[in-house]
Amino acid sequence: MAYIVKGCVKMYYYLNEDIADEKTQNWPLMRTPWPGLAIMFLYLMTVRRWLPDYMSKRPAYDLRRLIALYNVVQIFCCGYVVYHSLKLGWLNHYSWICQPVDEGPHSTEFAWKVCYAYFLIKLTDLFDTIFFVLRKKQNQVSFLHVYHHFGMVAVSWGMVKWVPGGHVTFVVLINSIIHIIMYSYYLLSTWDESYKSSLWWKKYVTQMQLVQFTLVLLHLIALAVTKDCNYPRFPAYILIPQNLFMVILFSDFYYKAYIKPKKN
């Protein structure tokens, strides 16, 4: 038992200290995983138990103005990340096949303006679920929704902690582009109910998400099979199954939402 505990402690210090990127260690929420885990625990308890219990005997809140403002902020923040992701990396000197973690003159700027900013955006994405519960749309707080939000916070934290730049930041670029489109749709549907009932818009957003996961999957496979790539392959081994799982979940959602009803 003591040997197991000693091994766990050694592994913790290895992951949290030895292989962590020095640039980001002292940034907020990055020194240890515990604050982030506490936030995620509070998120799960809030959207699955505490807030639904609170809303059970109350009418739904009208949050249209708040949600509209939230969508505008999200569009702006995602645009900021896309701009700096392209300017500092993917349209500058980054390789699309094998890109090591950049240690050049712009490495800290990329880590801060792209990777860390993306992590903060993923934290604010959690308000999506809270808005659903406050509007008494608990049916939209599905396993897919909660798992996706939880997983993206974990992935973005790990990226900032260990590899704040390089190959896996492709997910930051493409996911932020998709979210600009998605939050633009949400903004339109907040003020005009016709967009909310438009099957074409809903299908378009879901199709874009499926394309996103497919492109990220192919990009990670390129990392896994490319020889002599000076980038750790371990993230690919974790994220390839994760992306496959997301493709399966979103495909199942797409089938049930847009294909199966037509047969009925």
Give me the active site residues, please.
Answer: 148
Answer yes or no: are the C-beta atoms of 251 and 212 closer than 8 Å.
no
* Residue in the structure block whose two tokens are 């990396």: 89
Q: Is-contact 214 178, C-beta < 8 A? A: no
- List b or e across 38-74, with b for residues whose CB sees 16 or more CB atoms inside 10 angstroms: eebeebbebbeeebeeebeeeeeeebeeebeebbeeb
The b-or-e profile of 142-178 (16+ CB within 10 A means b, else e) is eeebbebbbebbbbbbbbbbbbbbbbbbbbbbbbbbb
- Residue 2 CA: distances (Å) to CA of 5, 9, 15, 95, 132: 5, 11, 20, 46, 46
